[in-house]
């Protein structure tokens, strides 16, 4: 293949497809390359789609996108080995004609999005591995080398959207090796149930869904969390911890997942289900301080490849699509102005990204990774203390409530001490600033 393109997009996930679609829609000659047999081949798990980011790219996406259920309720559960304390938010406002969030099956969604990319005029080639980036004598990226015969392909700019473990970016020196302390390994399963069972069990309507975020002793003192999402005919359940924690031994992703499924608060939600799919994947969770340089001479980096994930709010697909859109708009503007896609001009992408909610949100929580690494007791001590406090106050056993309050206060001070409690509160508040 000797044809030259305006842009080559590596990867057909949300970030890559967003970039390819926006550029192709603007009339650019775009090539999108995907290593899987088809878009989504590497993603069998359920996930959450945040509609605002996609709606800015494809306003009428709801007409034919493969959406599972719109989320009407968010549940946050803090688990101990035998209990959970929950905070739920449910509102009929989420039944708006244009809901804010949907559960999706990535393999179906990625296929649909890639179809839209092709409709916009881009060329999509799957089952193709990009082995390296092509550079000129000055080090400017001028294309890619693929595993196909005569597979050197040239373009004015290359968009790296090949996921968290971007070997292209690493081998080209654009980013460092994956840091186990900033990368989570997540194990997921899909459990199939009849739609009416899901609706009755989770107290939701025909097209309504629920999303769970799970924290506490389920990760055995390691940094991580679990989740549950309801789909049309299945339930997605998963749990993850930092790769560095798994590397130390004593824990495995599937072992944690088996324990989560057996938890007394979780087991009834999966009763009678049939598990048909299992997968594990990496998620960049280092936050703002772990984001590498996102642009250079002839290239830009978007989505998971650039570490654009808000792990505190479990947001990734929206940041991926927004970053892909902003990268595409940068390239489009340079094309219209007749300017080259060099580092100086592509710096506009960083400016646009910095001005967006993506970097602003990552900056807000930039202290959280450090806080969690230095205070792992928040995953064990506090869930246990809060569960004990609730059990004490709710139990009717003839002991007066004043005495119970003293027992609860004593338990907190014994486990953390007054200075420890105050210190934890201050450090936690600073991490959220």
The pLDDT tens digits for 245-297 are 998 878 899 999 999 999 999 999 999 999 988 888 899 999 999 999 999 99
pLDDT (0 to 100) of residue 41: 78
Please give the share of the chain, as a percent, with pLDDT higher than 90: 83
pLDDT in tens, 108-162: 999 999 999 999 999 999 999 999 999 999 999 999 999 988 789 999 999 999 9
Distance of alpha carbon 419 from alpha carbon 424, whole angstroms: 8
Task: State the burial class of residue 336 (Cβ atoms within 10 Å of its Cβ: 0-12, 13-18, 19+).
Answer: exposed
Tens of pLDDT along 159-205? 999 988 888 988 888 988 888 999 999 999 999 999 999 999 999 99
Residue found under tokens 């679990």 = 226
Q: What dotted CATH number matches 4-70+102-178+288-365?
A: 3.50.50.60
Let me know if domain 183-284 sits in CATH 3.30.1300.10. Answer: no
Picking from 113, 110, 104, 101, the residue whose alpha carbon sits closest to that of residue 46 is: 104
Lowest mean pLDDT: which of 44-53, 313-322, 343-352?
44-53
Task: With CA atoms as reference, report the closest residue to 237 among 222, 220, 225, 223.
Answer: 225
Q: Are 227 and 311 in contact (CB under 8 A)?
A: no
- What are the extents of the domains in the chain? 4-70+102-178+288-365, 183-284, 369-431
- From the CB of residue 337, how many other CB atoms can be counted at a distance below 10 Å? 8
Confidence of residue 44 (pLDDT cuts 50, 70, 90): low
Percent of the chain with pLDDT over 70: 98
- Do 4-70+102-178+288-365 and 183-284 come out as alike in CATH topology? no
Separation CA 55–CA 154 (nearest Å): 31
* Span 405-416, average pLDDT: 94
Query: In sequence order, what E strands does 56-182 have?
Result: 67-79, 84-90, 101-105, 123-125, 130-135, 141-146, 152-160
| 186 contacts 106 by C-beta, under 8 angstroms | no
> pLDDT tens across 298-311, in order?
999 999 999 999 99
- Token couple for 9: 């997009």
Task: Give the pLDDT confidence score for residue 2 in this predicted structure.
Answer: 53
Q: Is pLDDT above 70 for 1?
A: no
Mean pLDDT of 425-433: 86
Phi, psi of 366 (to 5 degrees): -65, -20
pLDDT of residue 63: 96
pLDDT of residue 178: 84
Nearest to 216 by CA among 172, 266, 290: 266
Residue 319 has pLDDT above 70, yes or no: yes
Residue indicated by tokens 């290593």 = 35
* C-alpha closest to that of 317 among 8, 47, 91: 47
User: Which pTM does this prediction carry?
Assistant: 0.94
The pLDDT assigned to 298 comes to 97
| Sequence-ordered alpha helix ranges (H) in 281-400 | 317-337, 343-355, 357-364, 368-374, 381-394
Name the token pair of 268: 């009834």
pLDDT tens for residues 75-115? 999 999 999 999 999 999 999 899 999 999 999 999 999 99
Three-point CA angle 352, 285, 234, nearest 5°: 105
Taking only the tens place, the pLDDT of each residue in 343-367 is 999 999 999 999 999 999 999 999 9
Are residues 273 and 235 in contact, defined by beta-carbon separation less than 8 angstroms?
yes
Q: What is the CA radius of gyration of the chain?
A: 23
Dump pLDDT digits (tens) for 372-387: 899 999 999 999 999 9
Distance CA 24, CA 31 (A): 9
């Amino acid at each position: 293949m000797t044809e030259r393109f305006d842009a080559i997009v590596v990867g057909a996930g949300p970030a890559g497809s967003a970039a390819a679609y926006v550029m192709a829609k603007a009339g650019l000659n775009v090539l999108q390359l995907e290593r899987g047999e088809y878009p989504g081949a590497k993603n069998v798990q359920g996930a959450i789609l945040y509609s605002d980011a996609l709606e800015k790219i494809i306003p009428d996406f709801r007409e034919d996108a493969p959406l599972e259920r719109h989320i009407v309720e968010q549940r946050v559960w803090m688990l101990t080995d035998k209990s959970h304390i929950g905070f739920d938010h449910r509102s009929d406002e989420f039944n708006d004609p244009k809901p804010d969030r949907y559960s999706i099956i990535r393999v179906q969604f990625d296929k649909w999005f890639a179809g839209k990319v092709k409709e916009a005029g881009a060329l999509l080639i799957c089952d193709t591995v990009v082995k390296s980036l092509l550079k000129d004598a000055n080090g400017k990226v001028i294309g890619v080398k693929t595993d196909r015969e005569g597979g050197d392909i040239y373009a004015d700019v290359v968009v790296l959207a090949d996921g968290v473990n971007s070997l292209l970016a690493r081998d080209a020196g654009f980013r460092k090796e994956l840091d186990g302390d900033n990368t989570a390994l997540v194990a997921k399963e899909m459990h199939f149930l009849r739609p009416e069972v899901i609706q009755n069990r989770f107290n939701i309507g025909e097209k309504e869904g629920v999303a769970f975020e799970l924290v506490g002793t389920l990760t055995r003192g390691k940094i991580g969390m679990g989740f549950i999402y309801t789909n049309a005919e299945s339930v997605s359940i998963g749990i993850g911890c930092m790769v560095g924690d798994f590397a130390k031994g004593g824990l495995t992703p599937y072992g944690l997942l088996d324990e989560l499924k057996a938890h007394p608060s979780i087991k009834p939600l999966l009763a009678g289900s049939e598990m048909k799919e299992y997968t594990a994947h990496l998620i960049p969770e280092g936050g703002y301080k772990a984001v590498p340089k996102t642009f250079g001479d002839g290239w830009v980096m978007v989505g998971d490849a650039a570490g654009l994930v808000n792990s505190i709010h479990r947001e990734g697909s929206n940041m991926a699509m927004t970053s892909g859109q902003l990268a595409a708009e940068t390239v489009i503007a340079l094309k219209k102005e007749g300017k080259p896609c060099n580092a100086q001009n592509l710096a506009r992408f960083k400016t646009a990204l910095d001005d967006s909610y993506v970097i602003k949100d990552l900056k807000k929580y930039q202290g959280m990774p450090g806080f969690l690494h230095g205070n792992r007791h928040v995953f064990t001590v506090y869930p246990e203390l809060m569960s004990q406090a609730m059990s004490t106050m709710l139990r009717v056993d003839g002991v007066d409530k004043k005495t119970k309050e003293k027992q609860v206060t004593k338990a907190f001070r014994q486990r953390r001490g007054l200075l420890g409690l105050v210190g934890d509160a201050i450090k936690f508040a600073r991490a959220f600033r």
